[in-house]
Amino acid sequence: MGTELTRNFSIIAHIDHGKTTLSDRLLEVTRTVAEREQQDQLLDSMDLERERGITIKSHPVTMSYPSRDGKVYKLNLLDTPGHVDFSYEVSRSLAACEGALLLIDAAQGVEAQTLANVNLAHQQKLVVIPVINKVDLPAADIPRINHQLEDILQMPAEEAIQASGKMGIGIVDILEAVIERVPPPPEPADTLLRASVFDSVYDSYRGVVSYVRLFSGRIAKGTKITMMSTGKTYEVKEVGVFTPRMTKLGELVNGDVGYIIANMKSPSEVKIGDTITETAKPAPEPLPGFKEIQPMVFSGIYPVSTDDFESLKAAVGKLQINDAAFTFTAESSAALGFGFRCGFLGLLHMEIVQERLRREFNMDVISTYPGVVYELTLSNGQELHVDNPTLWPDPGTIEEIREPLVKAFIMVPNDYIGEVLQLVAEKRGWVDHTETLDGTRVMLTAMLPLNEILVDFNDKLKSSTRGYGSMDYEHAGTQPSSLVKMDILINGEPVDAFSTIVHREKAESRGRDLAKRLKEVIPRQLFQVPIQAAIGAKVIARESISALRKNVTAKCYGGDITRKRKLLEKQKEGKKKMKAIGRVNIPQEAFIEVLKSSTSD
Amino acid sequence: MSGTRTRVRHVYVHVPFCHRICPYCGFYKHQPGKTSYETFAGALTNELRFALRDCEVVPRTLYFGGGTPSILPGNVWRGLVEGMGREVDLSGLEEWNLEANPRTFDEAKAAVWVETGVTRVSLGVQAFDEGSLQVLGRDHGPEDVAEAVNALRRAGIREVNIDLMFSVPGQRLADWERSLHAALDLAPDHLSTYNLTYEEDTEFLQRYESGEWTADADRDAEFFLLADRLLGEAGWVHYEVSNFARPGHESVHNRAYWAGADYLGLGPSAVSTIGGARWRNLPDTVRWVGQIQGVGHARLDGESLSEIQLGMERMALLLRTSEGVPRSWVEEDLAENLIGEGLAEWRDASFVLTTGGMMVADEIAAYLC
């Protein structure tokens, strides 16, 4: 069977440019979903996705569309994650398509993320169809968007389709453009099975469901398959397509987008980007583009109450089932007790995981200061990857340290360029080049250490540009850097939860800041408590909590004694929740307080 | 309490009546009215009689607190003492204390107290400066205090204590110093100096919680140290966190509490501790009288104290005193940490807090327990 009636495409857009609404409208016009079944944002099924208006997982759907040319086409829409944290997943989804709709908000115009997405689509050699969305808005400025298309994206303005997902304008035009401009899946050179996995979910009843695009061959129930990255073999139990619900079919063939269920026990057995082939007649080479996903950002996650460790362990385990990119290993901290060292694809991913732990698992958790993976070359020639400050080797043994960089695309109104340049400099970055976009805005391309944008870069960008600045980034290798491990010592003893890797020049101000905050939250004790920030043996900042001067019950007679004892019992109970550091006891809440404030601002 | 009956040597009697309710006071008290003084005195005698079923009461000390015990008219007082005297032998009393407010008694009433056996009167003075007296809602002035002390002396009261308060909102260090001098000028035998505490269910606590007033441990410490220094220079003994005495005039009754002795409490809200059992009486005068008349007692909140709990209490209480705790009660390394900071010292076979240590005695108790 030919593929000339099949089109595979995805929608790429900046957040809030109306991707989900438009997808829903496409489903409606093609009668894939009856109107009465419609509820807004059909494809974003996770609560969090709906609420934040972002897509985290892929949501493919197969539509049937009778075109003006009289033929009925099979259109496969792959709704893709829109954030750079998931750029690998995006690239795999895009690789499963031949075309992409590029959505641009008619009022807001091209944003930083739009550019990053277009670059990704070009890398996959997709046909890009620009769609100016939300043309019904009073603030819509189509001539301006047309200019941006030509100037910034180098696309002919006349190729753009004007649409409004909300009002149902231009939907048929879009569908017709997909049929006309997006090529059908190419004819394969042979009939060997090659299917690319672009996402997977774990269903507790059906097991691991792999989302696939077939580039050649066919696959059906009973096919014996091999995962090319692991060499493991399985038997297919079911195949089908999304309509958008999973609908069983007899087989999937070259050009199809759908799902397969095989006898896999664990979600970790399927890797995004892997190639599935037939065990009996394997393809000689896998499809290009497969990578093992590596977490980029790390942070410790601890239960606020140490009693909740077991529940947290269960929760992170369950989370990982549907989020293979999230990694965790148990660790223990002198200050926070037992918890997990967790790896994330990026900042948004980290936030999402923390949020899901709180919301879906009701966990009260605290995170340590996030960090990145540093590449170290030791004097003895050994190469080391360090994602946890507690594993930082003796500085005397380090030959070179390299830190990950990002290439950031920052779009700001002209009036705020100064502020942004200052912010970039403050974050140890430099501006590579500047492009004027449309007379009112510029696009700065800046190189920044990933470490520096982890905590507050986006907030600072927003606040210094009155909310007009937008930023996106892509990973851009590493650079040698003068980094040090800074410890916080309380009463002379290092408190692991506060150890961080910082640039030498930033160590002092960060150390001073942390010491000051700790001083504010640690209650006064019987003894004076010194707080120091140190690099190795060298103290770079110090504070001191003076000894408590007075705390004594005034009246202690017959009727007061029980109260006094209960107070004492309470103090003793409280001591159990404290961390003994030398001869002082520090309430865990104090650490948590400081971690909260230092990771949220 | 089966077998041999416990012999109790210390008795506390709570007299809940006050003419005026002070906005800082957390004790059970109310204005006179519903229950007549005679009915109240009769119920106390009945309560004592009932208590004798469980224990032998041979008082060495008797302490009438309140409330305002001095409010009781002379004839009611006489009747109460006679009634109690019929139940227990009061002849072995070493100390018989009565709390009194200025302007609630005269020399004649004090003479009745002396006649019935009272040896010590504790005057609720709180302050000598107008500002503090007003904030505290007291209805007496400095001259009333002088008159009260004179009346007590003339009537033959052997020991006079004056209660004072510090860290009262608005009170300055100079006010406190003047109050201490004014108190010394009246030549009492004993001074209790209490850091103002914001007690549950008081107007003061509301004002504190509303943010109108704040607590400041450093300021409290200044007041505390001033009293310690000034009274020390006058030759007084700082023998408990909140108590000073001329040498030899320490309160026997209170020391019995701190040493962990058993005591029987009579009257509404009074607490008793006898043989490891502790209970509190109903804090409601009308219901207390009703229960005494009906079943002979009005006890509630009964608890049995474990050896560990008793040990903790003894440790916490004795640490507050100049006597300290036996050396064997404290862990050597913890003790040395405190000594190194100047908070405590070894004195013969005892571990004793210094003045600096007394100020943080609650923390130290928690540290050592």
Cis peptide before B67 (omega within 30 of 0): yes
Instruction: Evaluate whether A22 touches A42 at the Cβ level (below 8 Å).
Output: no
Is the pLDDT confidence value at B239 over 70? yes
Instruction: Spell out the alpha helix ranges (H) of B17-100.
Output: 37-51, 74-87
For residue A491, the chain B residues in CB contact (below 8 A) are none
For residues A456 and A351, give the distance between their C-alpha atoms in angstroms, rounded to a whole number: 13
**pLDDT value at residue A81:** 67
**pLDDT value at residue A225:** 97
Q: Which residues pair with B300 in a beta bridge?
A: B280
Q: How far apart are the first and last CA of chain A?
A: 58
**pLDDT value at residue A58:** 65
Q: How many CB pairs under 8 A join A and B?
A: 112
Q: B79-137, pLDDT tens digit by residue? A: 999 999 999 999 999 999 999 999 999 999 999 999 999 999 999 999 999 999 999 99
For residue B320, the chain A residues in CB contact (below 8 A) are 552, 556
For residue A553, the chain B residues in CB contact (below 8 A) are 197, 241, 361-362
For residues A576 and A580, give the distance between their C-alpha atoms in angstroms, rounded to a whole number: 9
- A564 vs B196, B224, B316: nearest CB: B316
What DSSP assignment string belongs to B89-136?
Answer: --TT-SEEEEEE-TTS--HHHHHHHHHHT--EEEEEEE-SSHHHHHHH
**pLDDT value at residue A573:** 83
- A559 vs B271, B364, B369: nearest CB: B271
| Cβ separation A568–B241 shorter than 8 A | no
Instruction: Evaluate whether B359 touches B221 at the Cβ level (below 8 Å).
Output: yes
**pLDDT value at residue A52:** 53
For residues B79 and A305, give the distance between their C-alpha atoms in angstroms, rounded to a whole number: 61
Instruction: Spell out the alpha helix ranges (H) of A69-111.
Output: 87-95
Amino acid letter for position A224: K
For residues A140 and A164, give the distance between their C-alpha atoms in angstroms, rounded to a whole number: 11
For residue B358, the chain A residues in CB contact (below 8 A) are 552
Write the CA distances from B197 to A235, A561, B257, integer angstroms.
77, 16, 20
Is the pLDDT confidence value at B227 over 70? yes
In A, minimum Cα distance to B303 occurs at A562
**pLDDT value at residue A547:** 92
Is the pLDDT confidence value at B68 over 90? yes
In chain B, what is the greatest distance between 2 CA atoms, to the nearest angstrom? 59
For residues B280 and B259, give the distance between their C-alpha atoms in angstroms, rounded to a whole number: 20
| Cβ separation B221–A564 shorter than 8 A | no
Buried b (16+ CB within 10 A) or exposed e, B174-189: ebbeebbebbeebebb
**pLDDT value at residue A82:** 63
**pLDDT value at residue A179:** 96
What average pLDDT does the structure give for chain B? Answer: 95
| Cβ separation A526–B360 shorter than 8 A | yes
Write the CA distances from B177 to A519, B230, B332, integer angstroms.
34, 8, 38
The fold of the B6-258 domain, in CATH, is TIM Barrel (3.20.20)
Amino acid letter for position B286: V
Is the pLDDT confidence value at B2 over 50? no
By C-alpha distance, which of A38, A31, A289 is closest to A172? A31
Over residues B23-46, mean pLDDT? 96
Instruction: Evaluate whether A7 touches A100 at the Cβ level (below 8 Å).
Output: no
Domain boundaries, chain B: 6-258, 306-369
| Cβ separation B366–A524 shorter than 8 A | no
Q: B75-92, pLDDT tens digit by residue? A: 999 999 999 999 999 999
Say which residue the tokens 């819509």 belong to: A140
Over residues B45-65, mean pLDDT? 96
* Residues of chain A falling short of pLDDT 70: 1, 34-58, 81-84, 597-601
**pLDDT value at residue A109:** 87
**pLDDT value at residue B247:** 97
